[in-house]
């Protein structure tokens, strides 16, 4: 998945660094530096959304890298990744400005959870429970749909349809795909219901000027797309 999230991994274990990069590449672009000086230079000269920083590094240790980038007013979230598990080491890292600490060896699922938590905390990564496009938001927990804070009243199937479109924005969806997902092929209604609900959804999005997000692909289906993002 292509996006603008950038992560810097400063780790001298080549295999580990490459594995981390591969694991995080689904939602981010990952750069790797294998020594402290190169890591410090990259962190200060480029813009990253997160830095994953080992402590035991050649040229300059991770603590000094962290100390220097904070001194240079680089406020990028830093996740310390190290085999040093002593509480004093952790406290020292936090005192220097670290945002989180993960001890080796670790499960990659825990690394992913910590990375996403830091990105959400900084506002870089949207909360998984909120779907957004333009000024339109859908809260998957409360089932509330809003535009600039104003509630848009949707019935059950209209809400389900909007969520499906948002989860597949910029992707062409055929009428068959939509019908199967929202109503199911064993439904007693006909596939023409897709056009009816799509029309109703457009009308409800019109006051917020988001009705043009739904585009008809003649003889194929629909695409939910903000052309300013393409």
User: For the chain, what are the domain ranges?
Assistant: 6-122, 130-224
| Domain 6-122, second-level architecture | 3-Layer(aba) Sandwich (3.40)
Of 146, 130, 156, 164, which Cα lies nearest the Cα of 205? 146
Instruction: Give tens-digit pLDDT for 199-211.
Output: 999 999 999 888 8
Average pLDDT of the chain is 89
Reply yes or no on whether the pLDDT at 157 is more than 90: yes
* Cα gap 101→91, rounded to integer Å: 10
What integer pLDDT is reported at residue 126 of this predicted model?
65
Burial 128-143 (b: 16+ CB within 10 A, else e): eeebebeebbbeeeee
Burial class (CB in 10 A: 0-12, 13-18, 19+), 30: buried
Chain centroid to Cα 84, Å, comes to 29
| Domain 130-224, second-level architecture | Orthogonal Bundle (1.10)
What integer pLDDT is reported at residue 229 of this predicted model?
58
Question: In sequence order, which residues have a C-beta less than 8 Å from that of residue 175 and are 6 or more positions away?
Answer: 191, 194, 195, 221, 222
The confidence band for 127, taking pLDDT boundaries of 50, 70 and 90, is low
Instruction: Give tens-digit pLDDT for 31-84.
Output: 999 999 999 999 998 889 999 999 999 999 999 999 999 999 998 999 999 887
User: In the numeric block, which tokens belong to residue 39?
Assistant: 């890591």
């Amino acid at each position: 998945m292509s996006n603008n999230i950038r992560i810097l991994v400063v780790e001298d274990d080549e295999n580990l660094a490459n594995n981390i990069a591969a694991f995080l590449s689904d939602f981010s672009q990952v750069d790797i530096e294998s020594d402290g000086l190169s890591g410090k230079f990259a962190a200060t000269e480029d813009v990253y959304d997160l830095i994953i920083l080992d402590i035991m590094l050649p040229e300059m240790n991770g603590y000094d890298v962290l100390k220097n980038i904070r001194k240079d007013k680089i406020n990028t979230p830093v996740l310390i990744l190290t085999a040093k598990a002593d509480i004093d080491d952790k406290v020292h890292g936090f005192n220097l400005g670290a945002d989180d600490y993960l001890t080796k060896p670790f499960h990659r699922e825990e690394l992913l959870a910590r990375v996403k938590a830091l990105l959400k905390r900084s506002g870089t990564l949207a909360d998984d429970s909120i779907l957004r496009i333009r000024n339109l938001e859908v809260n998957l927990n409360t089932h509330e749909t809003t535009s600039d804070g104003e509630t848009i009243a949707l019935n059950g199937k209209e809400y389900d349809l909007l969520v499906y479109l948002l989860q597949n924005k910029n992707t062409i969806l055929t009428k068959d795909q939509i019908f199967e997902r929202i109503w199911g092929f064993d439904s007693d209604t006909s596939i023409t219901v897709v056009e009816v609900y799509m029309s109703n959804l457009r009308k409800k999005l019109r006051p917020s000027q988001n009705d043009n997000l739904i585009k008809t692909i003649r003889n194929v289906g629909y695409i939910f797309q903000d052309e300013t993002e393409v």
